[in-house]
Structure 1
Amino acid sequence: MATIISVILAALVYRKASLIGLANSVSAIGLTIPSFALIGLLVAPIGFGVTPAVIVVTFFAALPILRNAVVGLANVDQSLVESARGIGMSRMRTFLRVELPVAWPVILAGVRVSAQMVMGIAAVAAYALGPGLGGFIFSGLSRLGGANSLNSVIIGVVGVIILAFILDLLLVGLGRLTISRGIRV
């Protein structure tokens, strides 16, 4: 969800320098908001459950992807774009067939960074009674000193680390499948 939102926003702003600056500023400022505080702010109007957790995770996931998508699309060689337009491609087709595939490695790097970053944020989102391994962490911390409290925290933390590792491997595999050999680094 964050990737789709970010790529759409990047597609709307990457041609104008002022909007690129705005998108980068929003990304930088957004990342300074403490995730725990944002969850707390969303619990009041939305309540506990999955919804505030998904909103917070999506918000934080979109920020690095947006930054990378803007950079990737803005740095596509304009001669490629002009060539595509010269052979009769529409603006949308040029974007989908030329610009997006050339920018995809940079966008995917943002997705990988985002995925690793939001693993921890998703664990913190369990405070709002969202799903995930963060429930083990908060449960263990609330019973600190009690029976199996440390085990609960360790299970949650190690589970998050293992999931982050597996997700990164999947994203590397996705890159291998979706990035043309000609532009692969």
Structure 2
Amino acid sequence: MPSKEPEMGTPVQEFYRDTSVLVTGGTGFMGKVLMERLLRCCPALRQVFLIIRSKKGVDVDSRAEELFNDTLFDKLKQEVPKFRHKVTVVSGDCSLPQLGLSEADRQRLAREVDVVFHGAATVRFDEPLGVAMDINVFGTQHILQLAKDMPRLKVCLTLPDIPPG
């Protein structure tokens, strides 16, 4: 029996067909919305890599569980119940050199990622300047350094740069 030709989707769905996406800041408001939308609306998306840091004694895996227990993901769970197999949680910290990634994770991301959404940032106005610089300025530099090593890269965006719509 011949294989069925995949159904064509919208231009956005076709852009993300067989694409791997890296998301930083995925536990924040904009990151959650982005991930839910990508996973629900782009069925041919290959993989979402999500960089999460441990925080306040909560490990990366527990933070990922908390993330996907958010009611924002309820519709996704109904429409795409097996979405989690497309999500790979990577332990890292955008405020650290090399994003706090292991060498193996860094190499895998460089080899497999096509699209980067960098949304990790501190938005606290009372954050010490050094901490804010590490996250908001140097974190972006570290993402761009990683992006330079991605031969498959199509686009690298920071969440404030994402056009509405």
Task: State TM-score, norm by structure 1.
Answer: 0.27
Higher helix share: 1
Larger radius of gyration: 1
Task: State TM-score, norm by structure 2.
Answer: 0.30
Higher strand share: 2
